[in-house]
Structure 1
Amino acid sequence: MKFYKAALLLVLGFYACEVKAQNADQPAPKYDQHKVFNPMFYPERGGEFRSASGAPGSKYWQNRADYKLDVTLDTAKHRIEGSTLITYTNNSPDALGFLWLQVDQNIYKEDSRAEATSNVSGGRFANKSYTKGAEIKSVYIINKGKTLKADYLITDTRMQIKLKDSLRAAGSKLQIKIEYGFDVPEYGTDRMGRQHTKNGWIYEIAQWYPRVEVYDDVTGWNTIPYLGASEFYLEYGNFDYTITAPASLVVAGSGELLNPAEVLSPTSINRLAEARKSDQTVTIKDSTDILHNNDYPKKPTLTWHFLCKNARDVAWAASKAFIWDAARINLPSGKKALAQSVYPVEAKGNDSYGRSTEYVKAAIELYSDKWFEYTYPVATNVAGLVGGMEYPGIVFCGSNNQNGGLWEVTNHEFGHNWFPMIVGSNERKYAWMDEGFNTFINNVDTKVFNKGEYYEKPDQQKSAGYLFSPGAEAIMNVPDVIQEDFLAVAAYEKPALALTILREQVLGEERFDYAFKTYIKRWAFKHPTPWDFFHTMDNAAGEDLSWFWNEWFFTTWKLDQGIKDITYPDNDASKGAMITIENLEEMALPVTISIKEENGKTGTVKLPAEIWQRGDTWTFPYKSTSKIAYATIDPDHTLPDINPENNSYSGLPIPQGTTAGSVIKAYLDAIGGADKLKNVRDLQTSATGSIQGAEVQLVTRYKMPDKYFQEAMVPSYNNLVVSHVTLNGDSIKAKQVNRDLQLDDVAKKMIKLKSRPFPELDYERINQNISLQPILRVVNGELAYEVDINIGTEIHVHNYYSQKTGLKLKQTIEGANDLSVEFGNYEGINGGIKIPFSIKTIMVGQPIEFKVKETSVNSNPSNEAFK
């Protein structure tokens, strides 16, 4: 599912990240090569069930569950009633004296274990209201021609059925028949529920029948309770199911609709046939059809019949409010499938679900071409209450998504048809094996979709403070153990970045892609463990990656590579250079260094991670012919280095006679001159940026001498205000997502520091606290002066000004909440002054570039604009 970060907020306008000043005393290296390159990482050898190469063993087995489901949707009562007939096949070598089933609707009971373990402040997976859960009316066992009442016990979200006669091994079968019902919750832990629209309710129905737990060769029965964050682990089988509902409803479900002639009008059937032949989106039902409410067989109810083969689950949606459109999916084998979308009129239009089917089609085709062919006949995107959730052949996405946000969530949810729908990993234990792998292939997809329409080049250095925050938890943890505000990192972002680095920096795309496709092919419709994945990648890529798996997945180690020194043999630059780098933290990764000489020549050096087998320091020769102007580690910011300040080394002293005052004056002159800047009585800017495809709007206002306002808002989330900061005289207030923040003195000082549009005008009066570093720094490949400003003992500001243009390139602030901001694309505005129209920073752990769209100077905004 898509994890929309609950911590979608800005800290004092920007997300807090770890910042270290370049001139700070460097800590002693923490690195120990013996811990990284440990020969005892793999715990055991392969066996008959799972081989040491990572492939299924010669005697690998898994059980099977086939379902016949028949239910009725009562829209007056918002209720499901029906029955399931499960045919269970025991392919294991063990006789089974009891069976375990999941009864997931019980999570919505007031006395559920999930409710008892939810924070009092709520959260994404906490219940908003309660139901009676799954109301089990009867349970029968059908075996050897006999039907007997089952001896069963329900414990929270699990049902144990005790068998009179054990189910024998090696292919024996029995059937379980259950009659049940449940009330559909309005909010179902963001996985199911119902949404009211002006044309009727939208029902998104999932976890809607008792499901057999997995019995495997690893732990036997997998009976971890359903608490919300942990998703599912399910057996494969065929699903033959019917939904009876009022005739005016459109029903969309996993798999193929078997009886279109019984539930669709001739017009809809003809349009659907046209869509199956079209690469362009074809409307099946539009808003006019909804308004007329007569485009369906004239009966009180209709029964929709679906079949989904070789799946681990099914889900469905129903509404009379659905607009419905579709298009053809072209698969690599020549087979065709159908992409379709159903959504309310509130979500129509090309900025929203009008492009949904285009997105569905593109996602399925790209994944099929790159990794493994899509296996279901239909791919359906449902717009409704659920923010983002995946099921075989059907996904639920929030109806408020637009543009890049809609592509991002649609692409993500359909990526799950590969992980875990095709590769059936255990989501209850290893969320990263579906969420992380899926996020990784999402990023590969987005880079090429529509020539990169929504692609934004990542800056992993800026993400490092979020990925490796002080409260970081290791990836290899059960999802329910990982704190909710870090789950997005541990399950999604960090494992996805690990695979990206493995693909681009360690193995190369060709080796990685072959190994990854080998893993998918080996474990399609099977149940891999993490060790099966690790062994497969090692063997298929031809690399012992145990060091990589250990540091990324089992630890919270950090990365800090730095350039320590550059020297010249016999102090003669024409003889080349010796460059010394060091590893200051515990993680080891390859090193890429870009080098520029004073004569203008440039070069790049790539070093493998194995250099760090020798210790925390490495010196290598570089065939330069003149003095090196500067060298930079990881110039493209592909690695999550927590301290990028030490990644560049110039060794060049500042020109003689340069002072902090002259640098600041050069900056003020470059943006218009002190006299013009002092005439700015007020300034307002409106900027936009994008995170996870969602647009963020940032409005900043200054009014001299003591008024400041900054607000960040996400329009596609019902104009969600994620950050609001105001300063009005002595009054300082801050909110995050409508929650007041308690600010300490340091935080208030930091807001005051940000509250003036040109703070350099005030530096004269604190001159005794300003210093200029004696060595030129390197900021994004440009030589810069570093001017340090100390505000008391708590706040330390580091400003970097271009030696060439005088413009401010970057600012870092060390204080209660460290900030790092980069400035660029200076443009002139009213009054002949210049401001940066590009502002790069971190928000919710993601790099974001705000681009200024509107400005106003001396417009005399009212004092009401600063509340």
Structure 2
Amino acid sequence: MKFVKASVIALFVLIGNAKMSIAQNATPPASKYDQHKVFNPLFYTTNGNEYRTAGGEPGVKYWQNRADYKLAVTLDTAEHKVSGNVEITYTNNSPDKLPFIWLQLDQNIYREDSRAEATSVVTGGRFTNKAFTKGDEIKSVTVIQNGKAEKANFIINDTRLQIRLKDTLKANGAKLSIKIDYAFTVPEYGTDRLGRLNTKNGWIYEVAQWYPRMEVYDDVLGWNSIPYLGSSEFYLEYGDFEYSITAPANLVVVGSGELTNPTEALTASTIAKLAKAAASPSTVTIRDSSDINSKSFYPNKANLTWKFKCINARDVAWAASRSFIWDAAKIELKSGRKCLAQSVYPIESSGKDAWNRATEYVKHSIELSSRWYEFTYPVATNVAGIVGGMEYPGIVFCGSNATKGGLWGVVNHEFGHNWFPMIVGSNERKYAWMDEGFNTFINDFDTDDFNKGEYAETQNVQRIAKAMFNPNADAIMNTPDVIQNNYLGFAAYQKPALGLHILRDQILGADRFDYAFKTYVKRWAFKHPTPWDFFRTMENVAGEDLSWFFKEWFMTDWKLDQSVKEVTYVDGDVTKGALITIENLEEMALPVVIAIKEANGKTDTVKLPAEIWERGSKWTFKYKSTSKLVNVTIDPKAQFPDINTSNNTWTGIAAKAVPAGVTANSVIDNYIKAIGGADKIKAVKDVYITSIGTVQGIEVISTLKLKTPNKMFQEISVPTMNMVPLKIIIAGDSVSMQQNGQVTPLPAAAKASLLANAQICPEINYGTATLSLAPNLEAVGDAQAYVITIMQESGIKITSYYDEITGLKIKEVTNAGSSELSNYQAVNGIKIPFTRKAEMGGQLIDFKVKDAKIDSGLKDEDFK
């Protein structure tokens, strides 16, 4: 599943919380660190057994059950309905007799009386129903067992169906078959996992969770019958699929696996084009826009049946539309096995920066991710439609409006899921991080390598730390439905991915990590691992006790704050070496990377293992210096999630003191003069600024309107994704905020802060705030800046930096992030920054002003 992109969602969360953080005590706290908690020896609470070994691999008696499917359905485009039947052959390989069996009826989530609907917040969300259907309409259920076919004794409870067997299904390989006749209406919006999109050439149907599916019975929990509520995804048995889709003949149908009746469903010309594409490393057009209305493209029939086969898979999905443009290319796997990459999309999605490159993205996503384990399906199909991003074996659904880096990101992410959880079949219903986090991790390597890093960006981990480790953060080891909606992007995607990067780059090294990680994939390919199987595999294969890391990173909400406490010299002599003392102030332990610079120009980097923190919260080490140290910096490349970087650097150079006579008020007065003067500012009636930035190739537009008195409209939009992550409207004392279209309740302090800042120049009215000027100037880039802390009556704290020479504000910091301001230009006599580098979601985004107007005549209706 796509969370837009993990870092992009994190960005949107931070945007929505901008300037709303309550001030914290400026006095450095005492260390919270306790080495006994971190390095507690009792991490593993059970021993290995004959099913799952202590070393993390399937045991000699490991088993899993199997479900093979035969499906035949018809798509009624007038009623938007799928109807037909499924025959499931279920094999009980367990050592247990089964008196009953459980199936999933996922379409029941779309019923008005579903448990998911009852547990959805009133403000809605991505996984909330926007309309209702009748769910799975079960017409008949038959059990075939011991050579007899009998009407099943079954009950339906929300998204589960239980069959109470007349004869207990025996252990160790016994089989039975289940036949179900059913139907359901395809919802227009299927909680961003399936649905239909109306285009000018017809509906696009993206169909998934479209048949009753077996629940997993395993050696860990028995039946895994957690209801489907929306956020949590799936846990499925493996088997072989044969399925057919009957639909109007002018539709193109694509699905998981391989089309087995091409001569019946396709014309000879289309088959020839597909053969050409299968041999071509570059994209070949199979069906262009001129074919949509051409009768020669379709066999001369009213309806066609498309037949597919997918071997050793946990699921299948399909899509159908008259509107599809279709192109394809060859996937080149190192083993020499042939695969096909293909994309289908409406003409509205075409373009050289859009879906015309989709097949190129599919091809390289599969080839690059195969470094971990070779892709197993014959075809990789990408479908443009209403679903923003969702994955199924060999087929993915991606947003039809995605372009540039946004399209690469979603295609790469969704196809990465063919490794996690399609090949490595973890329990997504419980452990989202085992598919989303692992997938986000492998996506990073693909993006670095694709087209010489076309969309690669280096993430500053320090910048994302405050958001990822915020006071309300959930631990990774929670079910997705428990994790708060605005933190799921961190808990399921970014934090586990970052943990793997730290494990690889800072703890184990690339060689040991890669060998262990590939071993994990190979061991558990087409099987059902638990978190403990992953932890044990990584430890045993890499040869390292990692229990301390797995505990703190996955099981807790602990934070990291490493600091340089002091530097002294042996016997007071700089030539005898320096004694550097570092501290661990928060609960998490990680290795330490320290950059050191001496007065003689010598530089060095010292790396210390996490085990130094086994001794306590302070550590002193000797550095063989030959001259005075001038700089000691922890984490110089910003690779660790340190929540407080203000204590990461020690310098031997005295800070520049604020000159005598300079006060906070005089600095503010100089700023007001620098941008135009109080009289001109007070005379301004309205301001209208539009700025554009990008996040990993995705264009983000910022719109700001201000009008006196006390009117503001602020909107952050992502046009290619049809998203409005943030909208704030202020009219007098009324303050409303929406995040991703949902009304967000605001505490009184946040409202007060927004009201205080909804002005042309907030500094004009700082009379009600408490201002404090730092005793020393601080460097911001090449400039020296006065640092003023503004404590508002609401308790909100803002730190602003004003250039010592120009008087202009060049930086602003809140607990939610920071902004660097530059390139001031005059608009109607008032200087405004035309470049704003905003630190949001761990990204430093350059917003460039596209248009700025002062006194353009904004009306009250512009603030709605």
Q: TM-score, with normalisation over the residues of structure 2?
A: 0.91
Q: Relative to structure 1, is the Cα distance of residues 433 and 656 closer, same or farther in structure 2, using a 3 angstrom cutoff? A: closer
Q: Relative to structure 1, is the Cα distance of residues 602 and 75 closer, same or farther in structure 2, using a 3 angstrom cutoff? A: same
Q: Which residue of 2 aligns with 1:3?
A: 3
Q: Which moved more, 1:742-751 or 1:422-431?
A: 742-751
> What's the secondary structure of 1:500's corresponding residue?
helix
Q: Relative to structure 1, is the Cα distance of residues 656 and 208 closer, same or farther in structure 2, using a 3 angstrom cutoff? A: closer
Q: Relative to structure 1, is the Cα distance of residues 188 and 702 closer, same or farther in structure 2, using a 3 angstrom cutoff? A: closer
Q: Which residue of 2 aligns with 1:301?
A: 303
Aligned 8 A contact 2:710 2:758 in 1: no
| Post-superposition offset of 1:567 | 2.2
Q: Which residue of 1 aligns with 2:151?
A: 149
Which amino acid is 2:80 matched to?
H
Q: Which residue of 2 aligns with 1:520?
A: 521
Q: Relative to structure 1, is the Cα distance of residues 806 and 786 closer, same or farther in structure 2, using a 3 angstrom cutoff? A: same
Q: Which residue of 2 aligns with 1:114?
A: 116
| Post-superposition offset of 1:265 | 1.7
Q: Relative to structure 1, is the Cα distance of residues 571 and 367 closer, same or farther in structure 2, using a 3 angstrom cutoff? A: same
Q: Which moved more, 1:587-596 or 1:251-260?
A: 587-596
> What's the secondary structure of 1:505's corresponding residue?
helix
Q: Which residue of 2 aligns with 1:717?
A: 721
Aligned 8 A contact 1:9 1:723 in 2: no
Q: Which residue of 2 aligns with 1:398?
A: 399
Q: Relative to structure 1, is the Cα distance of residues 708 and 461 closer, same or farther in structure 2, using a 3 angstrom cutoff? A: same
Q: Relative to structure 1, is the Cα distance of residues 10 and 470 closer, same or farther in structure 2, using a 3 angstrom cutoff? A: closer
Q: Which residue of 2 aligns with 1:588?
A: 589
Which amino acid is 1:821 matched to?
S
Aligned 8 A contact 1:630 1:778 in 2: no
CA–CA separation in structure 1 for the residues paired with 2:432 and 2:503: 19
Match for residue 696 of structure 1 among 677, 694, 700: 700
Q: Which residue of 2 aligns with 1:103?
A: 105
Do structure 1's residue 610 and structure 2's residue 611 form an aligned pair? Answer: yes
| Post-superposition offset of 1:390 | 0.7
Per-residue CA shift, 1:636-659, capped at 9, x if unaligned? 221221222222223543346735
> Superposed, which structure 2 residues align to 1:286-435 within 5 Å?
286-368=288-370, 370-435=371-436
Aligned 8 A contact 1:461 1:641 in 2: yes
Per-residue CA shift, 1:367-403, capped at 9, x if unaligned? 01x2111000001111111121110000111212222
Do structure 1's residue 863 and structure 2's residue 863 form an aligned pair? Answer: no
Q: Relative to structure 1, is the Cα distance of residues 720 and 824 closer, same or farther in structure 2, using a 3 angstrom cutoff? A: closer
Q: Which moved more, 1:780-789 or 1:277-286?
A: 780-789
Which amino acid is 1:257 matched to?
L
Q: Which residue of 1 aligns with 2:204?
A: 202
Per-residue CA shift, 1:582-603, capped at 9, x if unaligned? 1111111111122333444332
CA–CA separation in structure 2 for the residues paired with 1:540 and 1:782: 50
Which amino acid is 1:849 matched to?
I
| Post-superposition offset of 1:619 | 1.5
| Post-superposition offset of 1:631 | 2.3
Do structure 1's residue 851 and structure 2's residue 863 form an aligned pair? Answer: no
Q: Which residue of 2 aligns with 1:129?
A: 131
> What's the secondary structure of 2:662's corresponding residue?
helix
Q: Which residue of 1 aligns with 2:541?
A: 540
Q: Which residue of 2 aligns with 1:569?
A: 570
| Post-superposition offset of 1:768 | 9.0
CA–CA separation in structure 1 for the residues paired with 2:770 and 2:85: 80
Q: Which residue of 2 aligns with 1:487?
A: 488
Which amino acid is 1:512 matched to?
F
Q: Relative to structure 1, is the Cα distance of residues 331 and 767 closer, same or farther in structure 2, using a 3 angstrom cutoff? A: closer
* Count of residues in correspondence between the two structures: 855
Q: What are structure 1's unaligned runs of at least 5 residues? A: none
| Post-superposition offset of 1:474 | 1.3
| Post-superposition offset of 1:430 | 0.9
Q: Which residue of 2 aligns with 1:502?
A: 503
Which amino acid is 2:846 matched to?
F
Which amino acid is 1:550 matched to?
K
> Superposed, which structure 2 residues align to 1:156-235 within 5 Å?
156-235=158-237
> What's the secondary structure of 1:553's corresponding residue?
helix
Do structure 1's residue 823 and structure 2's residue 850 form an aligned pair? Answer: no
Q: Relative to structure 1, is the Cα distance of residues 661 and 206 closer, same or farther in structure 2, using a 3 angstrom cutoff? A: same
> What's the secondary structure of 1:45's corresponding residue?
coil
Aligned 8 A contact 1:667 1:808 in 2: no
CA–CA separation in structure 2 for the residues paired with 1:226 and 1:731: 39
Q: Which residue of 1 aligns with 2:463?
A: 462
> What's the secondary structure of 1:521's corresponding residue?
helix
Per-residue CA shift, 1:683-705, capped at 9, x if unaligned? 76543223465321124467899
CA–CA separation in structure 2 for the residues paired with 1:671 and 1:511: 57
Q: Relative to structure 1, is the Cα distance of residues 185 and 745 closer, same or farther in structure 2, using a 3 angstrom cutoff? A: closer
Q: Which moved more, 1:246-255 or 1:818-827?
A: 818-827
CA–CA separation in structure 1 for the residues paired with 2:605 and 2:759: 42
CA–CA separation in structure 2 for the residues paired with 1:8 and 1:674: 30
| Post-superposition offset of 1:2 | 0.8
Q: Relative to structure 1, is the Cα distance of residues 584 and 316 closer, same or farther in structure 2, using a 3 angstrom cutoff? A: same
Aligned 8 A contact 1:18 1:469 in 2: no
> What's the secondary structure of 2:493's corresponding residue?
helix
| Post-superposition offset of 1:756 | 4.7
Q: Which residue of 1 aligns with 2:77?
A: 75
Q: Which moved more, 1:693-702 or 1:404-413?
A: 693-702
CA–CA separation in structure 2 for the residues paired with 1:199 and 1:570: 83
Q: What are structure 2's unaligned runs of at least 5 residues? A: none
Q: Which residue of 2 aligns with 1:63?
A: 65
Q: Which residue of 2 aligns with 1:772?
A: 774
Q: Which residue of 2 aligns with 1:841?
A: 838
Q: Relative to structure 1, is the Cα distance of residues 146 and 706 closer, same or farther in structure 2, using a 3 angstrom cutoff? A: closer
CA–CA separation in structure 2 for the residues paired with 1:595 and 1:802: 28
CA–CA separation in structure 1 for the residues paired with 2:739 and 2:434: 32
Per-residue CA shift, 1:191-225, capped at 9, x if unaligned? 11222111111111111111111111111221112
Q: Which residue of 1 aligns with 2:18?
A: 15
Q: Which moved more, 1:595-604 or 1:257-266?
A: 595-604
Per-residue CA shift, 1:73-126, capped at 9, x if unaligned? 111221112111112222222222222211222222222222222223322222
Aligned 8 A contact 2:22 2:797 in 1: no
Per-residue CA shift, 1:456-489, capped at 9, x if unaligned? 2212222122212222111111222222222222
CA–CA separation in structure 2 for the residues paired with 1:252 and 1:111: 32
Identity %: 57
CA–CA separation in structure 2 for the residues paired with 1:44 and 1:205: 41
> What's the secondary structure of 1:610's corresponding residue?
helix
> What's the secondary structure of 1:661's corresponding residue?
coil
Which amino acid is 1:840 matched to?
K
| Post-superposition offset of 1:618 | 1.1
Aligned 8 A contact 1:12 1:723 in 2: no
Q: Which residue of 2 aligns with 1:251?
A: 253
Q: Which moved more, 1:793-802 or 1:258-267?
A: 793-802
Aligned 8 A contact 1:677 1:833 in 2: no
Per-residue CA shift, 1:43-93, capped at 9, x if unaligned? 111111111110111121111111111111111221112111112222222
Q: Which moved more, 1:567-576 or 1:661-670?
A: 661-670
Q: Which moved more, 1:593-602 or 1:204-213?
A: 593-602
Which amino acid is 2:847 matched to?
K
Q: Relative to structure 1, is the Cα distance of residues 421 and 549 closer, same or farther in structure 2, using a 3 angstrom cutoff? A: same
Aligned 8 A contact 1:650 1:777 in 2: no
Which amino acid is 1:603 matched to?
D
Q: Relative to structure 1, is the Cα distance of residues 734 and 239 closer, same or farther in structure 2, using a 3 angstrom cutoff? A: closer
Q: Relative to structure 1, is the Cα distance of residues 747 and 17 closer, same or farther in structure 2, using a 3 angstrom cutoff? A: closer
> What's the secondary structure of 2:587's corresponding residue?
coil
Aligned 8 A contact 1:115 1:127 in 2: yes
